[in-house]
Structure 1
Amino acid sequence: MSLSCSHLLCGESSSSVISPGGGDYYSSDLDSRPPDAVESIAGLLEHESDLAGLSSFSAVDQPIDASIRSEYIAWILKVQRYYGFQPLTAYLSVNYFDRFVCCHHLPKKNGWPLQLLSVACLSLAAKIEERLVPSLLDIQVEDAKYIFEPKTVQRMELLVLRVLDWRLRSISPFCYLSFFAHKIDPSGTYTDFLTTRAKEIIFSTIQDTSLLECRPSGIAATTILCAANDLPKFSLVTAQQAESWCDGLNKDEIMMIRLKMKAKKKPKVFPQLPVTYRASI
C-alpha cells in the first residue's frame, strides 16, 4: 500500500538507516560478558535512566491507549517468533515504539500510523541485532493490517531515527541477567535455566504499561529472583538478598515490580504424566 505523508519525508539517504550515528550505538546484550564484570554493571546502573529513554513516561499520561499499544506490541512479538529473532530484537523494537509515541505526535493514535511505526521499529532493531534480516515486505507477516511499500517504511525508519536523536542504544534487562544469575548460582549449573526463565517472564509482561517506569536493572533482578524461586534449591532467595548483588538495586523496587508482575502472572500448567493401568485378572 502506497501511503504518502509529508511528515515522513526526510532528507537523509535511506542507506544511513543503520548508521551508528557518532558512536552512540552499542549492542546492549551483555549476556556474553563474564559474570564478575562488576565495573561494567556499575556503569550500566549509572547510565540506565538516561539511556532507557522512558524516565519521564508514566502510565497516567501515556500518549496512546494501553489496549491499542498492546495490540501492536503483540504483533511485534508474533513476528519475532515467526522469524526466530533474538529476544533482544523484540525488546528493542518495543523500546523504540514507546520512546517514539512518547515524544512525537502521530496524525492518528490507531490504524496505519501505528502499524507503520511497528514495522519500522522492528526493522531497525532487526538490522542491528540479526545477521539475516527479511526484506521490508517480507517482515510484514502475521496478519499485518496494512502492507507498506519499502520506500514508505524507509521514510518512517528515518523519522524514528530523527525523533530518537539516533540513540538506538538502550540498556535492557537482558544486560544484567547473566550477572544476576551467577550471583544466585556461582557454579553456573542453573544459569541457563535462570536466564531463559527470566526472559520468558519479561516477555510475558512486556505489554503491561505499568512497568514502563521501572528500571531495567530492577526488572532483571525481579525476573531472575522469580526464576530462582521456581527451583527448590533457591526458593528462599529474597529481595533483600538481591539488593546486595550490586550497588543501585533496591529491595522495595524489586518487591513493587514483583507485585505488578504477580498481578499479570498466569497460572502454571504442569505437563500431564502418562498413567498406566494394570489390567485386572
Structure 2
Amino acid sequence: MSLSCSDRFTDLLCAEDSNEVLSDDSPACSSELDSQASCIEESSIDGFIEDETNFVPGFDYLARFQCQSLDASAREASVAWILKVQAYYNLQPLTAYLSVNYLDRFLYSRRLPQASGWPLQLLSTACLSLAAKMEEPLVPSLLDLQVEGAKYIFEPKTIQRMELLVLTVLDWRLRSVTPFSFIDFFACKLDPTGTFLAFLISRATDIILSNIKEASFLEYRPSSIAAAAILCAANEIPNLSLFNPEHAESWCDGLSKEKILSCYRLMQELVVDNARRKPPKMLPQLRVSIRGRMRSSDSSSSSSSSPSYKRRKLNNCLRVDDDDRNSK
C-alpha cells in the first residue's frame, strides 16, 4: 500500500511544535563527554525517574486483567496489530511503545462500551495515529494506517473524534517517559568503553517490543523494564555476560533492585521461550501480496523471482513433459 502524503498533517489534533517533537535533546554517550554534559544527562535521568509514574496506568491496572475485569487477550491482539503496522511502515520503536502506552492509560481511566471488537480497534487506531504524529517525520494517512489485518475500517472523521477523546482522557500528556528514555544511558553505564553500545541498544529495543504484549510487564516501571532489557542484551555478549544484575541498581538513584531483578527474570524466561517457539519469518511475502493491490507491476516482478513462483513454474513444466510422454 502506498504512503499517502495528502492531508498528512491537517488532522493533527495536538499543537506541539514539530521542531520540539522531532528533536533529540539527550547528549550522545561517548568517552569524549565532558563533566558538564555528563551532569546534564544525569539530571535528565533523575527527572525521568521522578516523572515516570505519571505516565503509566494505576497500580491496580494489572489486577483488572488478572480478575478478568479487562480482557487480556483483546489487549494482546490490539498490541499485536500495532506492532504489525509498525513493522509494515518501518515506524520508530518508540512509536509502537507510545501507542500501547496511550492505550493502557486510556483503558485504565475510561471503560469502553465493550471489552473487544470495534471500540478497541478504533482506540488502537487512534492511539497509533497520535503516537505517529508525535514521533514520525512522515505519517501515513488515517486510511492507510488501517492495514495488516485490521478487522474494521473507520472513516478519518471517526478516528479524529476518538483522537480527541484520547487526548482529553490523557490530559494531553503525550510526551511520555518510556523505557527508551533510559536504555541509552543504561547501556553507557554497563559498557562505559562504548564497544558494544550499538548492539546493546538495538537488542534491548527488540526485547522490549517483543514483550510489550505481555500484561505481566505492566507491573514494572519504564526504568526497571529498560534496565532488565539491557541486562538481557548483555547476556548475549561474552565480555559483558558476567555482569552481576544486582549491581544495576547503582546506575542511577531511584532504581529498585527487587523490581529490576524480578523484571529481568521474567524477561529472560520470555526471551528463551520466544526463541524456542519463534516461527519462520513470512512477513516479506505477506507485504508483497498486500502491496500488489496498489502496484501490480512491483508485485508481479517480485513474485516472479520468489522461490514459490519458481517451484510452481517448475511443476508446470514437469506436468507438461509428462503429458507429452503419455500422448506419445
State the TM-score bracket (shorter-chain normalisation): 0.7 to 0.9
Structure 1's consecutive aligned runs of 4 or more residues displaced over 3 angstroms after TM superposition are: 26-32
Q: Which residue of 2 aligns with 1:59?
A: 62
CA contact 2:22–2:135 (8 Å) conserved in 1: no
Q: Which residue of 1 aligns with 2:50?
A: 46
Letter in 1 for 2:50: E
Query: Which one scores higher on RCO, CA 8 angstroms, separation ≥ 6?
Result: 1
Q: Any idea what the Cα deviations from partners look like across 1:169-206, whole Å, max 9, x if unmatched?
A: 21000011111111111121210100000011101110
1:263–1:17 distance in 2 versus 1, CA, 3 Å: same
Q: Which residue of 1 aligns with 2:96?
A: 90
Following TM superposition, by how much is the alpha carbon of 1:259 offset from its aligned partner in structure 2, in angstroms? 2.0
Q: Distance in 1 between matches of 2:249 and 2:22?
A: 23
1:84–1:15 distance in 2 versus 1, CA, 3 Å: closer
Q: Which residue of 1 aligns with 2:138?
A: 132
Q: Which residue of 1 aligns with 2:239?
A: 233
1:27–1:227 distance in 2 versus 1, CA, 3 Å: farther
Q: How does 1:108-187 map to 2 (within 5 A)?
A: 108-187=114-193
Alignment pair present for 1:19 and 2:19: no
Following TM superposition, by how much is the alpha carbon of 1:244 offset from its aligned partner in structure 2, in angstroms? 1.0
The SS at the match of 1:207 is coil
1:113–1:219 distance in 2 versus 1, CA, 3 Å: same
Q: Distance in 2 between matches of 1:267 and 1:151?
A: 39
Q: Which residue of 1 aligns with 2:270?
A: 264
Q: Distance in 2 between matches of 1:19 and 1:120?
A: 16
CA contact 2:61–2:108 (8 Å) conserved in 1: no
Alignment pair present for 1:222 and 2:228: yes
Q: Distance in 2 between matches of 1:215 and 1:33?
A: 23
* Structure 2: runs of 5 or more not aligned: 1-9, 30-37, 277-328
Q: Distance in 2 between matches of 1:127 and 1:171?
A: 17
Q: Which residue of 1 aligns with 2:215?
A: 209
Q: Distance in 1 between matches of 2:274 and 2:11?
A: 47
Q: Distance in 1 between matches of 2:82 and 2:201?
A: 22
CA contact 1:28–1:175 (8 Å) conserved in 2: no
Q: Which moved more, 1:30-39 or 1:71-80?
A: 30-39
Q: Distance in 2 between matches of 1:119 and 1:57?
A: 25
Following TM superposition, by how much is the alpha carbon of 1:33 offset from its aligned partner in structure 2, in angstroms? 2.6
Q: TM-score, normalised by structure 2?
A: 0.72
The SS at the match of 1:212 is helix
Letter in 1 for 2:56: G
Following TM superposition, by how much is the alpha carbon of 1:230 offset from its aligned partner in structure 2, in angstroms? 1.0
1:231–1:29 distance in 2 versus 1, CA, 3 Å: farther
CA contact 1:93–1:125 (8 Å) conserved in 2: yes
Q: Distance in 1 between matches of 2:76 and 2:247?
A: 33
Larger radius of gyration: 2
Letter in 1 for 2:15: S
CA contact 1:31–1:174 (8 Å) conserved in 2: no
Greater fraction of residues in helix? 2
Q: How many residues align?
A: 251
1:69–1:114 distance in 2 versus 1, CA, 3 Å: same
